[in-house]
């Protein structure tokens, strides 16, 4: 049963990679940041900040996709509340992405100055 659960989770991640452009962009950005972290040999705390913020952004995008899909299923026709819910969900992703960029700058700028 546990292995089955992991299978469902991996299926969801594969679906997001295949169908969600923004998730792919965020995933590629994460991979680039990991390579930069390796290049600059980040300290342990810096790695933790990068991994934590990147993970939060990716999870936020998965939740956003889930909410958008649910709203499309529940309300296939236009409804002002559907638009509002989807906008709020997208806004949550934007907030996490902005803070992730700020943390990335805080982490990487000192390494660039060396």
Specify the CATH number for the domain of residue 104.
Answer: 1.10.287.3610
Cβ distance 37 to 50 under 8 Å? yes
Angle at 37 between CA 31 and CA 41, to 5 degrees: 150
Instruction: Specify the pLDDT at position 105.
Output: 97
The whole-number pLDDT of residue 2 equals: 86
For the segment 3-25, what is each residue's pLDDT rounded down to a tens digit?
Answer: 999 999 999 999 999 999 999 99
pLDDT digits over 94-107, tens only?
999 999 999 999 99
Mean pLDDT of the region 75-98? 97
| Percentage above 90 pLDDT, the chain | 95
Say what the pLDDT of residue 114 is. 80
Average pLDDT over residues 12-41: 97
Backbone angles phi, psi at 20, to 5 degrees: -110, 105
Domain count, the chain: 1
Q: What is the pLDDT of residues 59-77, one digit of tens each?
A: 999 999 999 999 999 999 9
Question: How distant, in Å, are the alpha carbons of 62, 80, 107, 110 from that of 13?
Answer: 8, 29, 28, 34
**% of the chain residues with pLDDT over 70:** 100
Domain limits at 55? Answer: 2-113
The pTM of the full predicted model, rounded to 2 decimals, is 0.93
| DSSP states along the chain | -HHHHHHHHHHHHHHHHHH-HHHHHHHHHHHHHHHHHHHHT--HHHHHHHHHHHHHHHHHHHHHHHHHHHHHHH--S--HHHHHHHHHHHHHHHHHHHHHHHHHHHHHHHHHH-
Evaluated on CA atoms 19, 36, 45, 107, the torsion sign reads negative
């Amino acid at each position: 049963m546990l292995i089955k659960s992991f299978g469902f989770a991996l299926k969801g991640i594969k679906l997001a990679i295949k169908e969600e452009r923004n998730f792919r962009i965020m995933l590629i950005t994460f991979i680039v940041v990991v390579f930069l972290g390796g290049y600059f040999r980040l300290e342990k705390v810096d790695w933790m900040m990068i991994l934590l913020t990147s993970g939060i952004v990716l999870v936020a995008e998965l939740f956003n996709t889930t909410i958008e899909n649910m709203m499309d299923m529940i309300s296939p026709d236009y409804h002002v509340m559907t638009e509002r819910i989807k906008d709020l969900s997208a806004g949550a992703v934007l907030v996490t992405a902005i803070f992730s960029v700020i943390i990335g700058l805080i982490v990487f700028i000192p390494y660039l100055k060396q």
